[in-house]
Amino acid sequence: MSSSPIRLFTFAAPSRFYGLAGALTPWFWVATIALAAAGLYIGFFVAPTDATQGEAYRIIFIHVPAAWVSMVLYMAMAFWAGIGWAFKARLASMVARAIAPTGAMFTFVALWSGAFWGKPTWGTWWVWDARLTSYLILLFLYLGYIALVEAIDDTRRADNAGALVALVGAINVPIIYFSVKWWNTLHQGATISATTAPKMASTMLTAMLLMTLACWAYAFAVVLTRTRAIILERERHADWVATLAREGSK
Amino acid sequence: MSAFTAVLARDLRLAARRRIEALLPIAFFSVALSLFPLGVGPEAQTLRQIAPGIVWVCALLAAMLSVTQLYAADYADGSLEQMLLCGDSAVVIAAAKALAHWLLTGLPLILIAPLFGLLFDMQGDAIAALTFGLLLGTPILSLLGGVGAALTLGLRSGGVLLILLILPLCIPALIFGAGAVSAVVSGISPQGHYSLLGALLIVTALLAPWATAAALRISTE
């Protein structure tokens, strides 16, 4: 088995994915730390003070990356949950469940950092603006998915029911986004437009992109680690897990 | 089509035999709405302004609380499995069940909503817009609620879970339903809101029975 060449679905087997994820996780942690250090350094020491917002704008370096990552993670979660449901691919369902808490965490970070940004710049912690409200709903969709899969004891039913909820939510995300937008036209301006010289804007952009990559590396590291834990939990009766436990206890 | 009418007639007959139970969602709706003037204060101006929103929110909650029972009894006594096994499409059963739920809770809500419009001092044209919006919007709630009810069949905390799962999906109906009334009050045509509600109803009617059928299969396998 170990001598067979790597094919498209080689790592769809939980036992092989367990090894692969274990090998990759340390590298993602290294990337997280390196990228976050570089991004924070540029963000706090190289990027200049914003002309209108002062120092408060530096929240952008965590706010925007968290928002991007949380949105893409929802689509990834719905995608893998759907694959797991349609093709009975166990690993895909496990990955979907591993993504959910990280996505919810990033959504919460985006909302929370947004509140801290809103207080000094808009003078309020929260407005019922289109983007804020649809973000809050995204958090509810994540929480609904997590609550449903945790409430069902049967693993297969939990995975499939979660997939249905995630996919329905994915269809609804654009509908919710536009309905909320039409409901209240008060809207925040584009977040990336810096009014300073292009050279300064580019350092801000660099810091933000580095932080986005750092968030991605963190998301990969945590999701892979959580997937490994879920694999061990579900495959606890399999021989390879028993072998692993025996080797580990020696 | 016979399975559709059979399931529909059966649900309506069951409701007719437990009349008080069938009236509970309306009672909830009325009690919940009556709390608002006590909590917010009896100023007619304020009440007129918040009426469309709170009528819609109470309709949402009444629909979500009652829809948990849509499949629960049939699931508990095993008749749901027999229905799914009998060869008729689960989609047809899901559609009939959603229609039965709408006839039993949505329609009575629409009938008494104008009364609450008067209690909240709304104008005639605003009440008409509210009622028409509810007519287009409450079927969406029954259809989406069916998906949630099928997903949470037999779970320990099914009722609260259903609300967490389905309420975020009902937000567009709430926005356009309440928006139509605001449009009428401020002198704009509510046509756009009606069109969007109608579009949502069509999309939900096309997709929700299939999602409910899939959820029923997941929950009963």
Residue A48: name the closest of A171, A179, A204 by CA.
Answer: A204
Q: How confident is the model at residue A184 (pLDDT cuts 50, 70, 90)?
A: low
**Which residues, including other chains, have CB under 8 Å from residue B218's CB and lie 6 or more apart?**
A157, A160, A161, A164, B151
Question: A126 with A56: CB under 8 angstroms?
Answer: no
Are B200 and B172 in contact, with CB atoms under 8 Å apart?
yes
Contacts of B128 (CB under 8 A, 6+ apart): B184
- Tokens of residue B180, six digits: 């139509």
Q: Which residue of B has its CA nearest to A139?
A: B168
* Distance set, CA B94 to CA A148, A248, B173 (Å): 21, 51, 21
CB contact under 8 A, A172 and B221: no
Number of helices and strands (H, E) in chain B?
10, 0
pLDDT by residue (tens digit) across A71-108?
899 999 999 999 999 998 889 999 999 999 999 999 99
pLDDT at B155: 87
Please give the Cα distance from A120 to A125 (Å, whole number).
9
Task: Judge whether A180 and A137 are in contact, CB under 8 Å.
Answer: yes
pLDDT tens digits, one per residue of A24-52? 999 999 999 999 999 999 988 888 777 77
Binned at pLDDT 50, 70 and 90, residue A196 comes out as: very low
A166 pLDDT more than 60: yes
Residue A56 vs residue A139, higher pLDDT: A139
Q: Distance (Å) from the C-alpha of residue A217 to the closest C-alpha of chain B? A: 30
Q: The tokens of A82 are what?
A: 């759907």
Task: Give the model's pLDDT for residue A190.
Answer: 46
CB B96 within 8 A of CB B7: yes
- Contact residues, chain A, for B52 at CB < 8 Å: none
CB B94 within 8 A of CB B6: no
Sequence letter at residue B207: L
Rounded to whole angstroms, the Cα distance separating A203 from A37 reads: 15
pLDDT of residue A203 exceeding 90, the answer is: no
Backbone angles phi, psi at A54, to 5 degrees: 70, -145
More confident residue, A172 or A137: A137
How much is the pLDDT for A249? 66
**pLDDT tens track for A111-129:** 999 888 888 887 888 888 7
| Chain B residues touching residue A168 (CB < 8 angstroms) | 147, 169, 211
Identify the pLDDT of residue B33.
93
Q: Which residue has the tokens 């399975």?
A: B3
Nearest-CB residue to A179 (from B158, B164, B171): B171
Nearest to B190, CA basis, from B52, B32, B54, B59:
B52
Confirm if B178 and B58 have CB atoms less than 8 A apart. no
Phi/psi at A187 (nearest 5 deg)? -140, 140
Q: Which of residues 123-152 of A touch B (CB under 8 A)?
A: 137, 140-141, 143-144, 147-148, 151-152
Q: What is the pLDDT along chain B (221 residues), one digit of tens a residue?
A: 588 999 999 999 999 998 898 899 999 999 999 999 999 888 888 898 899 999 999 999 999 999 988 998 889 898 888 888 887 889 999 999 999 999 999 999 999 999 999 999 898 999 999 999 999 999 999 999 999 999 999 888 888 899 999 999 999 899 999 999 988 988 888 898 999 999 999 999 999 999 999 999 998 87
pLDDT of A204 higher than 70: yes
Q: Which phi and psi angles does B34 have, rounded to 5°?
A: -65, -20
DSSP for residue A50: B
* Residues of chain B neighbouring A142 (CB-CB closer than 8 A): none
**What per-residue confidence (pLDDT) applies to B139?**
96
Of A137, A151, A161, the CB nearest to B171: A137
Distance, in Å, from the CA atom of B161 to the CA atom of B159, rounded to the nearest integer, reads 5
Q: What is the pLDDT of residue B1?
A: 57
Q: How far apart are the first and last CA of chain A?
A: 25
pLDDT the model gives residue A199: 47
Q: Which residue of A has its CA nearest to B218?
A: A157
The per-residue DSSP string of chain B comes to -HHHHHHHHHHHHHHHHSHHHHHHHHHHHHHHHHHHHHHH---HHHHHHHHHHHHHHHHHHHHHHHHTTTTHHHHHTTHHHHHHHTSS-HHHHHHHHHHHHIIIIIHHHHHHHHHHHHHTT--HHHHHHHHHHHHHHHHHHHHHHHHHHHHTTT-TTHHHHHHHHHHHHHHHHHHHHHHHHHHHHTT---HHHHHHHHHHHHHHHHHHHHHHHHHHHHHH-
Here the tokens at position B116 are 């609450």
Percent of chain A with pLDDT strictly greater than 70: 88
Token pair in block for residue B169: 């999906």
Residue B167 with chain A: CB contacts under 8 Å: 140
Burial of A5 (0-12, 13-18, 19+ CB in 10 A): exposed
In the 8-state DSSP scheme, what is residue A54? B
pLDDT band at residue A241, thresholds of 50, 70 and 90?
A: confident
What pLDDT shows up at residue A3?
54
3-state secondary structure labels for all residues of B75-92: HHCCHHHHHHHCCCCHHH
Q: Average pLDDT in the A58-81 region?
A: 91
More confident of the two residues A190 and B160: B160
The strand pairing partners of A54, in sequence order, are: A50
Interface test with A, best of B218, B219, B220, B221 (most A CBs within 10 A): B218
Q: What is the pTM of this model?
A: 0.88
Which is more confidently placed, B69 or A195? B69
Contact (Cβ atoms closer than 8 angstroms) between residue A105 and residue A117: no
Tell me, what's the ipTM?
A: 0.88
Q: In terms of pLDDT, which residue wins out, B61 or A4?
A: B61
Instruction: Give the residue among A102, A63, A80, A90 at the shortest CA–CA distance from A219.
Output: A102
- pLDDT surpasses 60 at A192: no
Are B172 and A144 inside 8 Å of each other by CB? no
Contact B33, B116 (CB under 8 A): yes
